[in-house]
Amino acid sequence: MNRHVKALLSGAVALAAAAGTALAAYPERPITMIVPFAAGGPTDTIARIVGEHMSKTLGQTVVIENVTGAGGTTGITRGAQAAPDGYTIMMGHMGTHGASPALYPNLKYDPTKDFTPIGLAAGTPIIIVTRKDFPAKDLKEFIAKMKAEGPKLNEGNAGVGSVSHTTCTLLTSQLGIKTARVTYKGTGPMINDLVGGQVDFGCDQIVSVAQQIKAGTIKALAIATPERSPALPDLPTTKEAGMPEYEVSAWNAVFGPKGLPADIAGKLNDALVKALDDEHTRKRILDLGGTIADKPGRSPAALQKLVESEVARWNPVLKGIAAQAVNPAGATSGATPPPAAAPAPAPAPAQK
C-alpha cells in the first residue's frame, strides 16, 4: 500500500477517533434551547421546567434563548438552520410543527423533514380565558357577546401559526365571527394585558393560565378537552358549557436540527425522559395542568409520527377557514358560513 493511501487511511482513522471521542464526551459546553416565544408563556414555561432537569442529567446547563416573531416560526427557523452538533435544540409545538405550514406559504422549514425529533415534553389543553371583568359569566354568555360584538372584541394571540392564534381561529370560525386580533411575542405578555384589561379574551394553553385563573386575575370559561383538568376541577369542558364542537389541545416537544448524530439525539432524549420521570418535574407540569406522555409516547419516533399527523390534520382545517374568509360559502345567500369542522383531536398521550 503506497504512502499516500496509508496517510489518507490514518487520517480517516484519526478523524473517526476524534469524532468518537467528541460524541462520547458530549456535551462539553452549555446547550442552547431556543424558545420561539417570549418569556412567561406556555412554551417558555415547559422549556424551563424540563430544561432544568435535563441540565442535571447532561452535566451542562440548558440555556433558554427566547427568539420571537412570526408566530414562533422565526425561532424555529433559527433552530432548523443551526449546526447539528447537539449544542442548539428547540422547544416547538402544535403551532410551529403542525399548523404553520398551512399558514406560511414560504415557511423556511418542513416540520416533517428538517428536524431531528427528540421527544414530546407535555400535552397542553386549551382554555378560553377573558379579562376578569368581561361581561359574560359563562361560555354561553361569552358566545352571545362574541356574536353581537365580535369585531369590537380584542382577541390576544402570539401571532399567525401560534397555538393561541390557531385555536382561536378555530373558535371564531365555528362561531362564524371575526374579532379584532392583537398580536404579541408570546402569550406571556398577552396574559399580562388580559390581567390589565387591555385585551378581552384569548385561547391559551393551560400551563400559562392555570395560576392566574386560580388567583382570579383572569376568568376561564371552559377547557376544550373531553374531560376536565385535575388542575382546574371546577372548570367545565366546552361540551358541558354548550359548545361540544370546540375540542382542541396542544403539545410542546423538543427538536434538534436535521442530521443530529444518533448518539447525541439519544443522550438528549434520555435526558428528557429522565426529566419526565422525575417526581418534582412531573409535579410542576401536572400542577399547571400539563399532561405527560407514557414512555412509548416520549420516543423520537412517536414525535415524528405526531408531527406528520398534526401537519396533515391542521392543513385542510386552516386552509378551509382561510378560503371561507376570502369567499364565505354563505356570503351569496347571506347565511352564516358553515362552521369549520374541528380537527379530530390529536391522540392524547396516555398519562404515566
| Interaction site with ligand MLT (CB under 6 A) | 37-38, 41-44, 72, 93, 95, 158, 162-164, 186-188, 205
Q: What is the 3-state secondary structure (H, E, C) of 62-94?
A: EEEEECCCHHHHHHHHHHHCCCCCCCEEEEEEC
Nearer residue to ligand MLT within complex by CB, 60 or 229: 229
For the bound state, the minimum distance from the C-beta of residue 109 to ligand MLT, rounded and expressed in Å, comes to 16
Instruction: Indicate the residue among 36 and 297 with the shorter CB distance to ligand MLT.
Output: 36
Q: Which is nearer to ligand MLT, 38 or 271 (CB)?
A: 38
Residue 85 vs 193, nearer CB to ligand MLT: 193
> Strand, helix or coil at 188?
helix
Q: Which three cell numbers stand for residue 351?
A: 398519562
Alpha helices in 237-299 (DSSP H): 262-277, 279-287
The minimum distance between CB 35 and ligand MLT, in angstroms, equals: 8
The three-class DSSP label of residue 120 is strand
C-beta closer to ligand MLT: residue 158 or 311: 158
Question: CB of 68: closest distance to ligand MLT in angstroms?
Answer: 9
Smallest gap from residue 19 Cβ to ligand MLT (A): 36
Q: How far is the CB of 258 from ligand MLT (least distance, A)?
A: 23
Residue with nearest beta carbon to ligand MLT: 41
Determine the Cα–Cα distance for residues 21 and 14; give it in Å rounded to an integer. 10
The answer for residues whose C-beta is within 8 angstroms of residue 294's C-beta and 6 or more apart is: 349, 350, 351, 352
Whole-angstrom Cα Rg for the chain: 22
